């Protein structure tokens, strides 16, 4: 049995996200990119419409949407602006470890306040200044103390960071023991000893604020520990297995926007007496953009479908993430070529697509790491 | 009171339209709730939010897929929906007859319907409904209020506008400027899943109009890009507009 159709509710969600992206996100995207300013009004309205923290379960007052729902919505929002979508996407990245591994009590305490009111964000802190792709090498230290844990260290590239109500922080309780001593701790925004430094000078996605997190003798109570000691890395990786799907979906949105802008321009702009779309050199670029778009979307939805079915989705999410973000980067780059000089200046939206989507090839696991993950499975199966 | 808001589905304004022979081909187009009817749904919600105790019923005539447009109305806040199914494309008078029976059955006090249809540009359905029901009609309204059994509204007239008062039940046609329709929120989209959407075959109504022949008028986009100095560009635009007789 196989069925590629969306249900009526999913079509409605898609319609809402499409309208919101067109009417509210796209018109302000260039300005927030130029100013590197947080889009307060857009995020507030997204929260009011229920487009923020989609994965908070119904038991905690949320909508309890699945990964496919999030992918459908994410593609639409990223069509408007990948940077603005990252604020929403990164909040669900902070929510997901609690959805997958939090106790009912932890979900009640941390997730319920995120929904039903204004814009409340969550964040996820795994990378460090000296450890990204190798999470077992993290040095942020969690020491047991009276009534809980004491955290010391620095975390890097934290989307939403200082704006979030809480951040799920991955640390080690014994640097000698690697993953076996890793922990996942929920650190609330008001914890003593916690400070943030904003990262400036980003190439793209400049509407999404990024922070360095500084943990200086931060105390968190015992019941802020997700799972058990030794579960930290497993919690991080199982979260990323799912949240790479929205990264892929955002990439699909960018790829679609690139094709939209390029094909519109190519049918209007004339060279040698006819629209440039009628020249094969450009027509084939458009065809390749469409091929990438369609294949990226189906792989993304396939990975999402696996996640929602409770099947292992890591392999297919890795393929979706790497393929869709590479595809989107290639399409954005080709769109720049189609628009020529207009593609290279910020009066048109395509240069921004290229700058924005570069990050999709990096965050939530670089595409190099995705390929290692994919290759490992291929090799394992060949050796079996 | 009971408010019936009449819903039509139309191709999305951004949908690609092809012409084949004397027919418009809409295969693959996305269909949406007509924006003109959306003002009616929004106005019904606002009347209720202003303190009037009202049930809001979204009502449509059309093929099964019209359910999607009705779901949008439910997600915006309508209480329930009814679809009178037909694969025919009835003219406005026939549509009005099909709708009238359901409106009477509902014992509606107020019927809201878009001033004109976004696809075929027909403005006939509202007045045709009023005629069929024997109710007063206010077309092209820009504001409206219910005061007991009386409807107060302002509508566009040929010259300027007029303030009208009329007894309920009545038909009102809606347009841009009446309100700013809300987005259906995601929680309301989820809730709409559980609302009643009843489909039943549309009643037989003999068509009052027969299509004898038709031609499709086609206008190609110019796809002209004006480049270079903005001042010269402005002159170029003005002469293009003059040329087009604007």
pTM for the complete prediction? 0.89
- CB distance B185–A50 less than 8 Å? yes
Which of the residues B65, B70, B183 would you substitute to probe the A interface, choosing the one with the greatest number of A C-beta atoms within 10 Å?
B183
Report chain A's mean pLDDT, rounded to a whole number: 96
Which of A45, A49, A88 would best serve as a mutation to test chain B binding (most B beta carbons within 10 A)?
A: A49
Q: Could you tell me the CA-to-CA distances from A189 to A50, A58, A215, A245, B163 in Å, in that order?
A: 23, 24, 11, 27, 56
Express each pLDDT in A8-26 by its tens digit.
899 999 999 999 999 999 9
Smallest Cα distance from B35 to chain A, Å: 13
At B209, list the tokens. 């109009």
Indicate the residue of A8, A20, A269 with minimum beta-carbon distance to B183: A20
Question: Chain B contacts of A269, Cβ < 8 Å?
Answer: 225
Q: B221: distance to nearest CA of chain A, Å?
A: 9
Task: Considering only the beta carbons, identify the residue of A11, A63, A275 that sits closest to B186.
Answer: A63
Instruction: Report d(CA A135, CA A127) in Å as an integer.
Output: 7
Q: Out of A9, A48, A270, name the one closest to residue B189 (CB).
A: A9
3-state secondary structure chain A: CCCCCCCHHHHHHHHHHHHHHHHHHHHHHHHHHHHCCCCHHHHHHHHHCCCCCCCCCHHHCCCCCCHHHHHHHHHHHHHHCHHHHHHHHHHHHHHHHHHHHCCHHHHHHHHHHHCCCCCCEEEEECCECCECCCHHHCCCEEEEECCEEEEEEEEEEEECHHHEEEEEEEEECCHHHHHHHEEEEEEECCCCCEEEEECCCCCCCCCCCEEEEEEEEEEEEHHHEECCCCCHHHHHHHHHHHHHHHHHHHHHHHHHHHHHHHHHHHHHCEECCEEHHHCHHHHHHHHHHHHHHHHHHHHHHHHHHHHHCCCCCHHHHHHHHHHHHHHHHHHHHHHHHHHHHHHHCCCCCHHHHHHHHHHHHCCCCCHHHHHHHHHHHHHHHHHC
Over 80: is that where the pLDDT of B16 sits? no
Considering only CB atoms, B185 lies closest to which of A49, A268, A269, namely: A49
Q: Decide if A9 and B192 are in contact by the 8 Å CB cutoff.
A: yes
Residues B178-228 have pLDDT tens digits of 999 998 999 999 999 999 999 999 998 777 778 888 888 877 777 777 888
- Chain A nearest C-alpha distance from B167 (Å): 37
Q: Which residues of A are marked as active site?
A: 364
Q: Taking all residues of chain B, what is their mean pLDDT, rounded to a whole number?
A: 91
Residues B193, A9: C-beta atoms closer than 8 Å: yes
pLDDT digits (tens, 9 = 90+) for A281-305: 999 999 999 999 999 999 999 999 9
| pLDDT given at position A121 | 98
Binned at pLDDT 50, 70 and 90, residue A229 comes out as very high
**Which residues of chain B have a Cβ shorter than 8 Å from any chain A Cβ?**
32, 67-68, 71-72, 75, 183-190, 192-193, 223-225
ipTM of model: 0.86
Q: Which chain B residues are Cβ-neighbours of A267 within 8 angstroms?
A: 223
Q: Where are the alpha helices (DSSP H) in A157-310?
A: 232-268, 280-308
Q: What pLDDT sits at residue A136?
A: 83
Indicate the residue of B68, B183, B187 with minimum beta-carbon distance to A11.
B68
- B contacts of A20 (beta carbons < 8 Å): 183
Q: Look at residue A238 and tell me whether its pLDDT is greater than 90.
A: yes
pLDDT digits (tens, 9 = 90+) for B88-136: 888 899 999 999 999 999 999 999 999 998 888 899 999 999 999 999 9
Cα gap A223→B197, rounded to integer Å: 46
Q: How far apart are CA A289 and CA A279, in angstroms?
A: 16
Residues from chain B that touch A9, judged by Cβ atoms under 8 A, are 71, 189-190, 192-193
**pLDDT exceeds cutoff 80 at B246:** no
Whether residues B32 and A15 touch (CB distance < 8 A) is answered with yes
8 Å CB contact of B223 and A267: yes
Q: How far apart are the first and last CA of chain B?
A: 47
């Amino acid at each position: 049995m196989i069925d590629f159709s969306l249900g009526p509710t999913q079509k409605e969600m898609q319609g809402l996200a499409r309208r919101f992206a067109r009417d509210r996100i796209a018109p302000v995207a260039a300005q927030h990119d130029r100013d590197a300013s947080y889009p307060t009004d857009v995020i507030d309205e997204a929260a009011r419409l229920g487009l923020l923290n989609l994965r908070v379960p119904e038991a905690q007052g949320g909508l309890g949407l699945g990964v496919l729902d999030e992918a459908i919505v994410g593609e639409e929002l990223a069509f408007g602006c990948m940077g603005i979508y990252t604020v929403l996407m990164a909040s669900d990245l902070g929510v997901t470890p609690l959805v997958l591994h939090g106790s009912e009590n932890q979900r009640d305490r941390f997730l319920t306040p995120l929904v039903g009111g204004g814009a409340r964000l969550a964040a996820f802190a795994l990378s460090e200044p000296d450890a990204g792709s190798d999470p077992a090498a993290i040095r942020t230290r969690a020491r047991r103390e009276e009534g809980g844990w004491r955290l010391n260290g620095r975390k890097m590239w934290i989307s939403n960071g200082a704006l979030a109500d809480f951040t799920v922080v991955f640390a080690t309780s014994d640097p000698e023991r690697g993953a076996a001593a890793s922990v996942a701790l929920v650190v609330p925004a008001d914890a003593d000893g916690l400070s943030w430094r904003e990262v400036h000078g980003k190439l793209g996605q400049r509407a999404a604020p990024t922070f360095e997190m500084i943990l200086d003798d931060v105390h968190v109570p015992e019941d802020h520990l997700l799972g058990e000691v030794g579960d930290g890395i497993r919690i991080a990786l199982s979260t990323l297995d799912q949240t790479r799907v929205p990264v892929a979906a955002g990439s699909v949105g960018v790829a679609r926007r690139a094709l939209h802008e390029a094909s519109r321009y190519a049918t209007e702009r004339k060279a040698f007496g006819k629209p440039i779309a009628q020249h094969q050199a450009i027509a084939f670029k458009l065809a390749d953009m469409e091929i990438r778009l369609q294949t990226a979307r189906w792989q993304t939805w396939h990975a999402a479908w696996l996640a929602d079915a409770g099947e292992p989705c890591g392999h297919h999410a890795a393929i979706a993430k790497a393929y869709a973000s590479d595809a989107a980067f290639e399409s954005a780059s080709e769109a720049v070529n189609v628009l020529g000089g207009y593609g290279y200046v910020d009066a048109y939206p395509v240069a921004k697509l290229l700058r924005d989507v570069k990050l999709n090839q990096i965050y939530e696991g670089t595409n190099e790491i995705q390929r290692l993950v994919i290759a490992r499975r291929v090799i394992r199966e060949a050796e079996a | 009171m009971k408010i019936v808001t009449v819903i039509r589905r139309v191709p999305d304004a951004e949908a690609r339209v092809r012409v084949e022979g004397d027919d418009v081909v809409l295969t693959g187009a996305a269909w949406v709730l007509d924006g003109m009817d959306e003002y009616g749904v929004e106005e019904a919600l606002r009347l209720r939010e202003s303190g009037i105790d009202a049930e809001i019923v979204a009502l449509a005539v059309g093929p099964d897929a019209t359910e999607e447009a009705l779901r949008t109305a439910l997600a915006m806040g309508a209480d329930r929906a009814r679809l009178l199914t037909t694969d025919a494309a009835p003219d406005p008078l026939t549509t009005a007859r099909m709708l009238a029976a359901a409106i009477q059955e509902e014992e509606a006090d107020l019927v809201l319907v878009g001033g004109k249809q976004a696809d075929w540009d027909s403005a006939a359905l509202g007045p045709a409904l009023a005629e069929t029901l024997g109710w007063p009609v206010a077309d092209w309204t820009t504001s409206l209020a219910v005061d007991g059994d009386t409807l107060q509204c302002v509508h566009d007239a040929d010259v300027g506008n007029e303030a009208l008062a009329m007894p309920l039940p009545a038909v009102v046609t809606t347009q841009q400027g009446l309100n700013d329709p809300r987005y259906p929120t995601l929680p309301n989209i989820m809730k709409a899943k559980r609302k009643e959407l009843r489909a039943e075959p549309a009643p037989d109504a003999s068509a009052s109009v027969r299509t004898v022949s038709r031609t499709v008028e086609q206008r190609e986009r110019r796809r002209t890009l004006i480049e270079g100095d903005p001042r010269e560009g402005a002159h170029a635009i003005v002469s293009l507009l003059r040329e087009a007789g604007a």
